[in-house]
Chains A and B, each alone.
Chain A
């Protein structure tokens, strides 16, 4: 009975959505206030039924009702409760419902928040959001219904269970975080479309979505970082980013969105780049849908694509619909999008932002090109050429480094024009320190990109710190404040600016971590108890091999003693080889899993994988990697979140 209620909710939501769009559309023509209220409430009704459907599916997952196909496929009786809930976004139809669920939360918040303001914008905002909901409702109703009953000629007494790789706390939060980011951009997009249709392209719509955009950007950033963190902890190839199509799918909207949050500052302050901002938000939203498409269709062979499915063409049509409709409307409004002001000088902050924007878009195009290269090559040459991580690294490293450099240069430039005197005053110190560091790194023996990257990191850090220093000095002189108070007051008076600088600092930390990749070392070897092996000045001794049967798996545990070249004890590592579903008589249904052990310091990570075990001879086959500076990436992630929160924190008077 309850599963039926879920299905019915989804159907009702679809019906409500269609009527809501129709009523609001008529309202925009005849301005009959009653129609607006009907449309608005119908739109809230869509979200309500989506909530209901989501809660029903979650409840069915919790009580393990295997009469629902989705529940039987992604959970089993022994699946821990938290992963029964996270199973909601583990599979295809569930994750689409979950997308819809988040969109409905955002849509509800937008409608309720704007009851008293933005009268002119809000009808088309609701229409745009509801059309997006309708798209996902069509998918969940007709293409891949999460409430589909189980079809089997036997009684399903237990489900298949959740993939052990997904039974990880990071994996329980990574998809929702990423989705909050993806879906979050539908609100700024809806405002943009509404502004276009209403011919109201002044900075007003930008002000109303600045915070939304930052929140969406924050979640997207966190989602990407968490994904990398999960891959590093669980997948066992020693890295956090593989330029996998689905990783690229989340990076592309992030790049255009990052460009967008920079260039809206110019529109807010100077009313420039109106057209450009429209292009960026449309691209960002289209890339978010495209990202969902890449994840959920089997078009790319990737570890993420759950199954070959019929979703591909439908998603692609929707992406084309968004692009054609949005750019069509934009084209018809070109006159309104002419900015009244022009950029005055190369050495202005405006032009710095413009450069930064171009590089972000170029970087996004490079990623897009590489991601679709197999498809393009197949279409053009008739055979498929796959591209790997080295391709992306080669193309993107110089572009990324230019971007890093701009992170340091941009904020030092003044609005309109930076005078020569000012240029010298602001850039002398960072450039001197940068040159000294180049010489030092060359003396140490570093080469090529490593020197450039580390020196640029130092350049940017110096530039940011000197901005902080100057700001604090001004306050100290002007208001006679203590250092501590001056810092706090300076940041709280100008949260978005200093929050932004802190985010930049986080990016610098991440670049330090990325550069560490150039020093990676790895070795695969076998050890019997008591034997030793060496790598990068460390000694690895296998002390012990033990086994243990645990609630949902069987584990072989190795104990490896790590000492440095002076014989100093560093740590013991305990990588495990596990077998999930080990009691299953069907050997092919048992699921081996390597549980890594990582010893992490600021300087380097020692990453150990238990590849295989020879039970008779008691030999452990191990893979050890030395990954320098990886921790800087995660620290950079924390700094980025912290900085964004500062920029987001509301002022008291608001």
Chain B
């Protein structure tokens, strides 16, 4: 077999997959396939309504869990000096707590961010400060 037939074949495969990858990159089938990551400030100022992603810290003491349904919760997401009121009604990750670093995805309407995805940045606690003996109750030791 001639060599250039194979070269053609390789070029063919590369072209087709190149086309396929760029096509999916521009027209993802699922709206959750891609999300623009923006800052809280940009979101509030520009009032963007499409689905987006945000990152920030959970404001201390802002987590409120509904009495009627423990899955419903709301909290304030802080990014720098900007704050955003977030609602979320699914199972929360174990590391979600006051002060935790989180990433949320969802939509913004009328001053409320309805999150459909909530991720915590893992292990922040484990890279945290060392335990200070004087402020720590060693009751768990030796059990």
In the complex, are the beta carbons of A611 and B91 less than 8 A apart?
yes
State how many angstroms separate the Cβ of A258 from the closest Cβ of chain B.
Answer: 17
With an 8 A cutoff between CB atoms, is B38 at the interface?
A: yes
With an 8 A cutoff between CB atoms, is A623 at the interface?
A: yes
In the complex, are the beta carbons of B91 and A591 less than 8 A apart?
no
In the complex, are the beta carbons of B143 and A78 less than 8 A apart?
yes
In the complex, are the beta carbons of A154 and B94 less than 8 A apart?
no
Of residues 83 through 126 on chain B, the ones whose CB sits less than 8 Å from some CB of chain A are: 90-92, 94-95, 97-99, 103, 119, 121-123, 125-126
Contacts of A301 in B (CB 8 A): 55, 103, 121
**A390→B71 CA distance, assembly (Å):** 25
State how many angstroms separate the Cβ of A612 from the closest Cβ of chain B.
Answer: 4
With an 8 A cutoff between CB atoms, is A307 at the interface?
A: yes
Return the contact of B91 from the options A306, A383, A385, A623 (Cβ within 8 A).
Answer: A623
Chain B interface size, under 10 / 10 to 19 / 20 to 34 / 35 or more: 35 or more
In the complex, are the beta carbons of A158 and B136 less than 8 A apart?
yes
**A224→B35 CA distance, assembly (Å):** 27
Known contacts: A390-B28, A390-B30, A524-B71. The answer to whether A585 contacts B137 by CB under 8 A is yes
Candidate in B3, B127, B131, B133 with the most chain A CB atoms within 10 angstroms:
B131
Of residues 51 through 103 on chain B, the ones whose CB sits less than 8 Å from some CB of chain A are: 53, 55, 65, 69-71, 90-92, 94-95, 97-99, 103
State how many angstroms separate the Cβ of B94 from the closest Cβ of chain A.
Answer: 5
In the complex, are the beta carbons of A343 and B103 less than 8 A apart?
no
With an 8 A cutoff between CB atoms, is A345 at the interface?
A: yes
Known contacts: A301-B103, A301-B121. The answer to whether A614 contacts B70 by CB under 8 A is yes
State how many angstroms separate the Cβ of A51 from the closest Cβ of chain B.
Answer: 27
**A345→B132 CA distance, assembly (Å):** 72
With an 8 A cutoff between CB atoms, is A157 at the interface?
A: yes
Known contacts: A77-B141, A390-B33, A394-B29. The answer to whether A343 contacts B125 by CB under 8 A is no
In the complex, are the beta carbons of B130 and A150 less than 8 A apart?
yes
The digit string for A310-349, where 1 denotes a CB below 8 A from any CB of B, is 0000000000000000000000000000000011111000
In the complex, are the beta carbons of A391 and B17 less than 8 A apart?
no
Known contacts: A369-B21, A551-B143. The answer to whether A391 contacts B28 by CB under 8 A is yes
With an 8 A cutoff between CB atoms, is A588 at the interface?
A: yes
Contacts of B138 in A (CB 8 A): 157-158
In the complex, are the beta carbons of A584 and B137 less than 8 A apart?
yes
Known contacts: A385-B37, A386-B37. The answer to whether A394 contacts B71 by CB under 8 A is no
Known contacts: A343-B6, A583-B137, A591-B125. The answer to whether A73 contacts B130 by CB under 8 A is yes
State how many angstroms separate the Cβ of A148 from the closest Cβ of chain B.
Answer: 12
With an 8 A cutoff between CB atoms, is A589 at the interface?
A: yes
Q: How many A-B residue pairs have CB under 8 A?
A: 173
Return the contact of A74 from the options B70, B125, B126 (Cβ within 8 A).
Answer: B126
Contacts of B35 in A (CB 8 A): 385-386, 388
The digit string for B31-43, where 1 denotes a CB below 8 A from any CB of A, is 0111111100000
State how many angstroms separate the Cβ of B7 from the closest Cβ of chain A.
Answer: 11
Q: Which of A29-37, A159-167, A407-415, A509-517 faces chain B? A: A159-167
With an 8 A cutoff between CB atoms, is A183 at the interface?
A: no
Contacts of A386 in B (CB 8 A): 34-37, 53
State how many angstroms separate the Cβ of A404 from the closest Cβ of chain B.
Answer: 16
In the complex, are the beta carbons of A383 and B21 less than 8 A apart?
no
Contacts of B135 in A (CB 8 A): 586
State how many angstroms separate the Cβ of A22 from the closest Cβ of chain B.
Answer: 38
In the complex, are the beta carbons of A588 and B34 less than 8 A apart?
no
Known contacts: A366-B17, A526-B69. The answer to whether A344 contacts B1 by CB under 8 A is yes
With an 8 A cutoff between CB atoms, is B45 at the interface?
A: no
In the complex, are the beta carbons of B140 and A552 less than 8 A apart?
yes
In the complex, are the beta carbons of A612 and B90 less than 8 A apart?
no
With an 8 A cutoff between CB atoms, is A609 at the interface?
A: yes
**A592→B91 CA distance, assembly (Å):** 13
In the complex, are the beta carbons of B33 and A391 less than 8 A apart?
yes
State how many angstroms separate the Cβ of A167 from the closest Cβ of chain B.
Answer: 12
Return the contact of B30 from the options A304, A394, A623 (Cβ within 8 A).
Answer: A394
In the complex, are the beta carbons of A391 and B130 less than 8 A apart?
no
In the complex, are the beta carbons of A157 and B34 less than 8 A apart?
no
With an 8 A cutoff between CB atoms, is A619 at the interface?
A: yes
In the complex, are the beta carbons of A154 and B34 less than 8 A apart?
no
Contacts of B38 in A (CB 8 A): 383
Contacts of A162 in B (CB 8 A): 126
With an 8 A cutoff between CB atoms, is A362 at the interface?
A: yes
**A51→B124 CA distance, assembly (Å):** 30
In the complex, are the beta carbons of B94 and A395 less than 8 A apart?
no
In the complex, are the beta carbons of A394 and B24 less than 8 A apart?
yes
Return the contact of A388 from the options B32, B98, B128, B136 (Cβ within 8 A).
Answer: B32
Contacts of A74 in B (CB 8 A): 126
In the complex, are the beta carbons of B127 and A373 less than 8 A apart?
no
Of residues 270 through 297 on chain A, the ones whose CB sits less than 8 Å from some CB of chain B are: none
State how many angstroms separate the Cβ of A608 from the closest Cβ of chain B.
Answer: 12
Candidate in B90, B133, B140 with the most chain A CB atoms within 10 angstroms:
B140
In the complex, are the beta carbons of A346 and B91 less than 8 A apart?
no
A383-B36, A394-B30 given. 15 additional CB < 8 A pairs?
A: A77-B141, A154-B133, A156-B131, A160-B131, A165-B122, A307-B127, A358-B13, A374-B37, A387-B34, A391-B34, A395-B24, A524-B91, A581-B140, A584-B137, A621-B91
Instruction: Name 28 interchain pairs, CB-CB below 8 A, sorted by A.
Output: A72-B131, A77-B142, A154-B133, A156-B130, A157-B138, A159-B130, A160-B126, A163-B122, A165-B122, A301-B55, A345-B1, A359-B13, A365-B21, A366-B17, A369-B25, A386-B34, A386-B53, A388-B35, A390-B28, A390-B32, A391-B30, A394-B24, A395-B20, A581-B140, A588-B98, A591-B125, A613-B70, A619-B70
Interface residues of B (CB under 8 A from A): 1, 3, 6, 10, 13-14, 17, 20-21, 24-25, 28-30, 32-38, 53, 55, 65, 69-71, 90-92, 94-95, 97-99, 103, 119, 121-123, 125-128, 130-143
